[in-house]
Copies of this chain bind each other. A is one copy, B any other.
Amino acid sequence: SPLFSCSFCSMPTTLLGQNLRPSSSSTSSTCDVLLMHSFSLSLSISLSPSPSLSQGTRDYNPKQMAIRERVFNTIIRCFKRHGAETIDTPVFELKETLTGKYGEDSKLIYDLKDQGGELLSLRYDLTVPFARYLAMNKITNIKRYHIAKVYRRDNPAMTRGRYREFYQCDFDIAGQYDPMIPDAECLKIVHEILSELELGDFCIKVNDRRILDGMFAVCGVPDDKFRTICSTVDKLDKMSWEVVKSEMVNEKGLSEEAADQIGQYVSMQGGMDLAERLLQDAKMSQSKQACAGLTDMKQLFSYLQLFQVTDKVVFDLSLARGLDYYTGVIYEAILTQTGPEGVSVGSVAGGGRYDGLVGMFDPKGRKVPCVGVSIGIERVFSIMEQKAEASAQKVRTTETQVMVASAQRNLLNERLRLTAELWNAGIKAEVMYKKNPKLLSQLQHCEDSGIPLVAILGEQELKDGVVKLRTVHSREEVDVSRAELAEEIKKRTSDV
């Protein structure tokens, strides 16, 4: 097609685009008539050969949206059951709001172009904006959920449900309360949501930053290396201990002896018993921090017993979580069943306590203790979509109750009039935007989109003041008086 090539050298504009963009000022072009190239390139902008999406993002089609709506409803129902309010914050914040909150992950933050005015960044999570919101509005206690998209310049593994734009569903409890009670509620919420979504078996790993820091201290990690060693421990869910150890020793400069001691601890898993054992551990018990964390861990498990969720919760010393802002208990839920290709789906929820974050935004440094959890909803969507794909049941993307149709010609006005009557009566109704559609195509649309009823108008029905109401699946037809039509449709679709 001539529209997609340079009119002079007939090089396709798709190739020209690739050639010109990186070196538009270059003079060693393969074509002499650079001007013509540019012209044909600008044509290709208004008549693009293949519209596409930015890397790592995706559209949701109506079927995916129907699934998404169902998942959100389950999650929101749970958050509301626990008495949560909801808030919303802007998608971009002042760049300085996000600075210094994410440790090594800061490089993944999207910045906006400086077009004059403030320097802005897209939000990286919902936790930092939440802390900024609390400090700005001087709120000292709130239980809130927030469901919104966040942005990370990550290498997307889209088949595994990882994107650069993705939803987070956060639930957080802010306020000065007695230890571990809100923390236990967060774990109860993860348990409820993952159970209700029926994603298969799961496990919630729990640890505490104070236990980790205490462990690093007693193993001989220098103070200034705690955070970076913690980031390395965080990789244990994806890499073997040998690889992690090598990073500690060779990249982070830790002594081999210290690394080996860490290796002993991070292989430990258990429940309340493990916390008790470590409180007696000769080395661990030397750290005041570790003891505080372990005592709280015992308390946490006692509340989890009351909530009847200990079947899924494991105290795991290898759990680290990379973010800088955690100060106490941390947790992460993983699905234990492997995916279709034997690949683990990995983490579907995570969170922890961050008592210092709000204070970072307060002029007087006033702290508001917080604990929260974030549901990794995109992975949940991926699993639900695969399930829907595998299932025989069709996903309906509309809720239409009735199609207003006719078999005869020249009844468009009558169809429109009846449709408006039904809309005004609160009935979900569709009508074909054609003057004289075939009855068959009207019925076919009902089959395709799962509409259960058809209201058929003809000259005779109009004379008699009735409508022929047809049930799509049984093909049964009855005359219903026009005055009673809306009620009859409501009755017939309420038990569907």
Contact = CB atoms under 8 A, between A and B. Distances in A.
A94 B133 contact: no
B177 A93 contact: no
A95 to B, nearest CB: 9
B360 A118 contact: no
A21 to B, nearest CB: 9
Given A81-B423, A360-B47, A360-B48, A417 B112 contact: no
A50 B361 CA distance: 7
Interface in A301-317: 303, 306-308
B308 A420 contact: yes
B48 A434 contact: no
A9 interface: no
A54 interface: yes
Interface stretch (A58-66, A209-217, A226-234, A344-352): A58-66
Nearest to A427: B81
A62 B173 contact: no
A90 B53 contact: yes
A4 B363 contact: yes
Contacts of A118: 54-55
A329 to B, nearest CB: 14
A356 B363 CA distance: 54
Contact of A88 (B65, B100, B434): B65
Interface stretch (A199-207, A244-252, A258-266, A394-402): A394-402
Contact of A428 (B80, B96, B364): B80
B49 A153 contact: no
Nearest to A114: B113
Q: How many copies does the complex hold?
A: 2
Nearest to A3: B365
A165 B100 contact: no
A435 interface: yes
Contact of A55 (B3, B111, B117, B360): B117
A54 B413 contact: no
Contacts of A331: none
A466 to B, nearest CB: 20
Interface string A25-56: 00000000000000000000111111111110
Contacts of A360: 46-48
A120 interface: yes
A181 interface: yes
B65 A433 contact: no
A97 B49 CA distance: 12
A66 B426 CA distance: 23
A74 to B, nearest CB: 12
18 contacts: A1-B364, A45-B99, A49-B363, A51-B132, A51-B362, A52-B136, A59-B90, A65-B88, A90-B165, A112-B113, A112-B122, A113-B113, A177-B434, A178-B434, A181-B416, A185-B433, A303-B416, A308-B420
Given A47-B363, A59-B136, 16 more contacts: A45-B100, A47-B362, A47-B365, A48-B97, A53-B94, A58-B90, A59-B87, A65-B85, A69-B86, A81-B429, A82-B430, A85-B397, A92-B165, A112-B112, A181-B416, A185-B433
